[in-house]
Amino acid sequence: MLGNADQYLDWIVGGIVLKKYLKNYLKRWLKIFPRLYKCTEKALFYKRNYSFIKCMKNREKSPAIIYFGVPNHTNLGDQAQTYCTFIWLNENFPNRKIYSYHSGQVAFGIVSYLKKYVLSDDLIFIQSGYNTTDLYMAEEKMHREVIQAFPENRIVIMPQTVFFENISEQKHTEKIYNSHKKLIFFARDNVSYKKAKEMFPCIHVSLYPDIVTSLIGNRHYSNQRNGILLCVRNDKESAISKSEVLR
């Protein structure tokens, strides 16, 4: 308890000095912390991805396939895209080894390591799906980084749906894609094909069906069918509203 005015004044002054010291200490720490965090994050990333980097470092010098966009989530549609693409790649490029990476690895900087070991005659493929969009920027950012990182390689973007809400993001994508001289872009529906042709006049754009349709006819079931089941999305990829479904 403060007994007199002098003690109270000392307490106030001491508090001000302490506050100033803490403020300066925090300022210094906040300058150091981002750098420390970045170094720690980089070290952890390298440790987690060492096997992927080592695999490329010790690769054979024959042409290979570098595949970006393997899903690391539980969406079965995206998993099916990768499953069917790998079948297609092995059928059409049986003599090329496939090295695959997911978009999270790209986001944390694996491309800077891979650039040292990718050969000019390696083929680069990017995962198909609803990825050329600003609805999910992780995949689109992956597209942009890969395209910019490998200007001398043939890059094939597997069948995509194309949609942008933000015109600045669309323009940014257009600039990067059109700057690549060896880029092939596949659109998986007519709307996306027309949009892609408008956006990418400097690259090769083709209409190609969703690669998961390659599974049609591969499986046969003996159970009897009765009626039709309609499945409708209820997330931001849905093209129709709930009221339209119920109508």
pLDDT at 163 over 90: yes
| 220 pLDDT higher than 90 | no
Q: Is 135 exposed, middle or buried (0-12, 13-18, 19+ CB in 10 A)?
A: middle
Q: Over 80: is that where the pLDDT of 29 sits?
A: no
Do the Cβ atoms of 107 and 142 come closer than 8 Å?
yes
Does the pLDDT of residue 190 top 60, yes or no?
yes
How far apart CA 190 and CA 51 sit, in angstroms, is 41
Residue with tokens 């420390």: 36
Q: Is the pLDDT of residue 1 over 50?
A: no
CA distance readout (Å), 159 to 17, 18, 129, 167:
64, 62, 6, 22
Q: Per residue in 109-137, pLDDT tens?
A: 888 888 989 999 999 999 999 999 999 89
- Non-local CB neighbours of 206 within 8 Å, separated by 6+ positions: 184, 185, 186, 187, 193
User: Residue 239 burial by CB count (10 A; 0-12/13-18/19+): exposed, middle or buried?
Assistant: exposed
pLDDT in tens, 36-63: 555 555 555 555 565 667 777 778 889 9
Percent of the chain having pLDDT more than 90?
49
With b for 16 or more beta-carbon neighbours within 10 A and e for fewer, the 197-214 pattern comes to eebbeebebeebebbbeb
pLDDT of residue 185: 98
Higher pLDDT, 242 or 131: 131
